[in-house]
Amino acid sequence: MEVIKTDIEGVVIIEPRIFADSRGYFFESYSKKEFDEKVRPVDFVQDNESCSSYGVMRGLHFQAPPFTQSKLVRCVKGRVLDVAVDIRKGSPTYGRHVAVELSEDNHRQFFVPRGFAHGFAVLSDIAVFQYKCDNYYAPQVDGGISILDTSLGIDWLIDPDKAILSEKDMRHPMLSDFDSPFDYHTDLYFAD
């Protein structure tokens, strides 16, 4: 696998080695050994999958301490724009984001460390989205930032006025009204 660094330290794009022939293709979607060596050691404990239609936007979600989560995400059917926003107080990249297109064709994966809000927009008729988490779901510390916050400067590649959001996601605060539970100086990126 090839690891592509982004403008925000710790947030990386992963491109697998694809072996294709007349029968189709094969690739190793995850190897703990290789991930630990090339990205960082992570103990993923839960896999999730969602299916959404065009225009659905999910996020920007996070879990607060002590149940923070890193995520390794990919789109196995269709196409999404996936985004990670740095919400670590004191971070030199606080409020900045990384966006990447994930699709069934490019097979890319995106690693979102702890201390980041995560979301995606569906760009195809249907998208099946999978992600690994390094902590279990803890609804009592589930949080988010508005996915429609224009101050973040995210081009979602769809008309936000036609976006389909859950009621919960429509209630998330704007970044300017948000008191982040994450502190850059506590090294959450490397926390277990």
pLDDT in tens, 140-152: 999 999 999 999 9
Backbone angles phi, psi at 14, to 5 degrees: -120, 125
pLDDT of residue 82: 98
Residues in the chain: 192
pLDDT at 189 over 70: no
Residue 58 CB coordination number (10 Å): 21
pLDDT tens readout for residues 123-139:
999 999 999 999 999 99
Look up 61 and say whether it is catalytic: yes
CA distance 57 to 128: 13
Sorting pLDDT into bands at 50, 70 and 90, what band is 160? confident
CA distance 81 to 92: 24
Q: Pick the catalytic residue: 107, 131, 172, 184? A: 131
Calculate the average pLDDT of the chain: 94
Averaged pLDDT, 95-120: 97
Q: Pick the catalytic residue: 61, 97, 118, 172? A: 61
pLDDT of residue 186: 77
Those residues with Cβ within 8 angstroms of residue 23's Cβ, 6 or more apart along the chain or in another chain: none
Yes or no: say if 96 and 86 are a contact pair by the CB < 8 Å rule.
yes
Task: Domain ranges for the chain, please list them.
Answer: 43-190
CA distance 142 to 69: 11
pLDDT of residue 187: 56
pLDDT of residue 114: 95
Look up 131 and say whether it is catalytic: yes
pLDDT tens readout for residues 3-54:
999 999 999 999 999 999 999 999 989 999 999 999 999 999 999 999 999 9
What is the share, in percent, of the chain residues with pLDDT greater than 90?
93
Sorting pLDDT into bands at 50, 70 and 90, what band is 99? very high
Yes or no: say if 38 and 72 are a contact pair by the CB < 8 Å rule.
no
pLDDT at 191 over 90: no
Averaged pLDDT, 99-116: 97
pLDDT at 190 over 80: no
As a CATH number, domain 43-190 is: 2.60.120.10
Q: H/E element holding 37?
A: helix 32-38
